Amino acid sequence: MMKPTIATRFQARLDERRAQSLYRQRPLALSPQQPIMQINGLPMVNFCSNDYLGLASDPRIKAAVCADNSAGWGAGAAHLVTGHHLHHHLLEDELADWLGVERCLLFSTGYMANLAVQQTLMQTGDLILGDKLNHASLIDGARASGADFKRYPHLDLAALGRRLVASNQPTLIVSDSVFSMDGDLADLVSLQNLAKTHQAWLMIDDAHGVGVLGEQGRGSFSHYGLAISADTILVGTFGKAFGTTGAFVAGSTVLIESLIQFARPFIYTTAMSPMNALATREALKLVKQGNDLRAQLQANILQFREGAQQIGLNLLDSASPIQPVILHQADTALAWSEALKQKGFWVAAIRYPTVAKNQARLRITLSAAHSAEQIEDLLQVLNDLMVW
């Protein structure tokens, strides 16, 4: 029997994706991340970025990096070899103080952090219970852990409770705080109560909450007035509200030391750039002082939602910067996205398998850096599309 080549295994699948309007392509940015960008050589108003506070191109962050010559471009090695720079160390301490936890640990990406936590903490014979709409990295981390993995219907705490009652295994509850495709919030109060009642551990990915929600932007736990307990794991990222790159895990000293000793995605990879750690330290200062930015972001969200409802767009119930417009069919979402590009607005079409079949959408994300005029202009083009 002939063994397959790469082409014979994948070409038909690639062709099928094109035929189903599911093929993905990378747009080419030719300018810094900001509301008005050069994308594929054309000026666009960008409504796709997760740069919620507009810090990705903030000159204060650039100035801090340029003024400090103690950090090089590359870390050169893993944290446990020679890659752990003073700026990494200070960033971890500053994050822990800000969040009110014992320790924090840096990772190069949120995906790596989510893999590391679940692979390290959970093992064969354990149970992971995850929300149906959790981010792909949370799903992949659970699958790679060796533990039993079951998903409960989105935000269905009664179903989660039944699974907890039925289990006598060591259990980890895993959920996003703000769901990346729907923009809605998990009920952390109830999740924490369920975890405590059933002696489960709780892991929350706060990628879209840190910097945006809570006092000083401390995130979803602060938003709900909760403390992070000893058996709670918080994951946050810097590539969104902080405007830099990378991620962290926050929690108890035992948690962090366990990850340092046993987490393969931490041990066997080069540390993030020391310059990025320095940039993120400066971004943390701006996030702490960013109440005006968060207020502007909330005003922009309100303006968009009120305008979208007036013209009859099919919005999901989201109070976050993530505002999905449901169009159902992939070809419709692509057509709307292309029409918006022709008018100078960059809005991505999100399709299967990122979202469920027949749930294709435009995923509009808002930033404090967007002007009221830019939002109004976007709404006008969307209104014109409604009569297609």
Reported confidence tier of residue 344, pLDDT bands at 50, 70, 90: very high
Q: Are residues 267 and 297 in the same domain?
A: no
Whether 367 is catalytic is no
Domain co-membership, 241 together with 296: no
Asked if 128 and 90 sit in the same domain, the reply is yes
Nearest to 134 by CA among 187, 181, 80, 102: 181
| The predicted structure's pLDDT at residue 386 | 84
pLDDT digits (tens, 9 = 90+) for 21-48: 889 999 999 999 999 999 999 999 999 9
334: left (phi over 0), alpha (psi -120 to 50) or beta: alpha
Structure confidence by residue, pLDDT tens digits, 298-343: 999 999 999 999 999 999 999 999 999 999 999 999 999 999 999 9
Q: What is the mean pLDDT of residues 234-238?
A: 98
Model pLDDT, residue 2: 87
Note whether 266 and 367 are same-domain residues: no
Is the N-terminal amide bond of 353 cis, ω within 30° of 0? yes
Chain mean pLDDT for the chain: 96
Q: Which of the residues 240, 273, 337, 367 is marked catalytic?
A: 240
Contact indicator for 356, 179 with CB cutoff of 8 Å: no
Indicate if 240 belongs to the active site: yes
Among residues 242, 265, 288, the one where a domain terminates is 288
190-193 contact pairs (CB < 8 A, 24+): 190/157, 191/157, 191/160, 192/226, 192/229, 192/232
The verdict on residue 5 lying in a domain is no
Residue 209 domain-assigned?
A: yes
- Give the pLDDT score at 241: 98
Do the domain assignments include residue 9? Answer: no
State percent of the chain over pLDDT 90.
Answer: 97
- The number of distinct structural domains making up the chain is 2
> Do 35 and 65 have their domain in common?
no
Is 8 a member of any domain? no
For residue 2, give the DSSP letter. P
| Contacting residues for 278 by C-beta, under 8 A, at least 6 apart | 64, 65, 68, 71, 87
Could you tell me the CATH number of the domain that includes residue 201? 3.40.640.10
| Residue among 180, 220, 337, 367 flagged as catalytic | 180
Asked whether the predicted pLDDT for residue 191 surpasses 90, the reply is: yes
Residues 320, 244 share a domain? no
pLDDT value at 347 more than 90: yes
Answer yes or no: do 183 and 82 share one domain.
Answer: yes
- Is residue 2 one of the residues assigned to a domain? no
* Domain presence at residue 1: no
pLDDT, tens digit, 9 for 90 and up, residues 106-157: 999 999 999 999 999 999 999 999 999 999 999 999 999 999 999 999 999 9
Is position 15 within any domain? Answer: no
Q: Is there a single domain that holds both residue 192 and residue 301? A: no
pLDDT digits (tens, 9 = 90+) for 2-18: 899 999 999 999 999 99
Residue from 84, 208, 223, 370 carrying the catalytic annotation = 208
Task: Give the residue from 237, 229, 223 showing the smallest Cα distance to 202.
Answer: 229
- Examine the fold and report which residue of 288, 311, 337 is the final residue of a domain before the chain moves on: 288
How far is residue 205's CA from residue 184's CA, in Å, rounded to a whole number?
Answer: 13
**Which of residues 254, 288, 322 is at a domain's end?**
288
Amino acid at 164: L
Q: Which residues contact 43 (CB under 8 A, 6 or more apart)?
A: 36, 37, 344
Structure token digits, residue 39: 């994308």
Range of the domain at 278: 59-288
pLDDT of the residue at 313: 96
Whether residue 47 is found in the same domain as residue 90: no
84 flagged as catalytic: no
Q: At what angle do helices 86-99 and 274-288 cross, to 10 degrees?
A: 30
Are residues 163 and 280 located together in one domain of the fold? yes
Q: What is the pLDDT of residue 21?
A: 87
Same domain flag for 319 and 283:
no
- The whole-angstrom separation of Cα 153 and Cα 130 is 9
* CATH number of the structural domain spanning residue 38: 3.90.1150.10
**Are residues 119 and 224 located together in one domain of the fold?**
yes
* 129 beta partners: 150, 173
pLDDT at 388: 63
pLDDT band at 272 (very low <50, low <70, confident <90, very high): very high
Residue 6 falls within a domain, yes or no?
no
